[in-house]
Amino acid sequence: MFITRECDYAVRVVRALWGESRLSVSDICEKESVTAPFAYKILKKLQKAEIVKGYRGVHGGYSLNEGLDELTLYDIYSAIDPEMFIIECLDPKYSCIRDGQNGMPCLVHKELVRVQDELVNLLKRKTIQQIMEEA
C-alpha cells in the first residue's frame, strides 16, 4: 500500500468535516485545497463506507457519520483503497512465479507480509481524534 493522493485527500476531507455540523463540497474544497471533482469521488467512497453522511437539497452537504474517537487512518485509507498492499505480490489474486519455485516459499514474500501487518497495526493505533488533539 502506497498512500495515494486520493487517500491523502480523503483524510483532508475528514479533517475539514471535523467539528462541523455540515459542510458543502465547495466549503470542503476551499478549506483543504481539493478540487471539486476529486472531492465528490472521495465523498462517494467515504459515504459508501459510512464514514460520512450526505444531505441533499438546498441546505445539503456532508457531515461525519461517526465520531473521530472511533475512526482511524486505516478506516479512511481502506474506504478509498480496500486492497491496500505495499506490493502487488501480497494480493491473494496475484500469482508470483517465484513463490513456490523449486518447492520453496518466497522468503521475501513472508517478510513483506510481516511488514504489511505492522503497517496496518500502526495505521489502526490512533484514532483521528487522538491525532488531531496532539497539536
All domains in the chain, ordered by first residue: 5-86+127-133 (1.10.10.10)
Tell me the chain's radius of gyration from C-alpha atoms: 18
pLDDT tens digit string along 18-71?
888 899 999 999 999 999 999 999 999 999 999 999 999 888 899 998 778 889
Ramachandran class of 107: left when φ > 0, alpha when ψ lies in -120 to 50, beta otherwise: alpha
4 and 80 Cβ atoms separated by less than 8 Å: yes
- Amino acid 70 reads E
pTM, 2 dp: 0.84
Half-sphere exposure at residue 22, Cβ-oriented, CA atoms within 13 angstroms: 11
pLDDT tens digit string along 104-123?
677 787 888 898 899 999 99
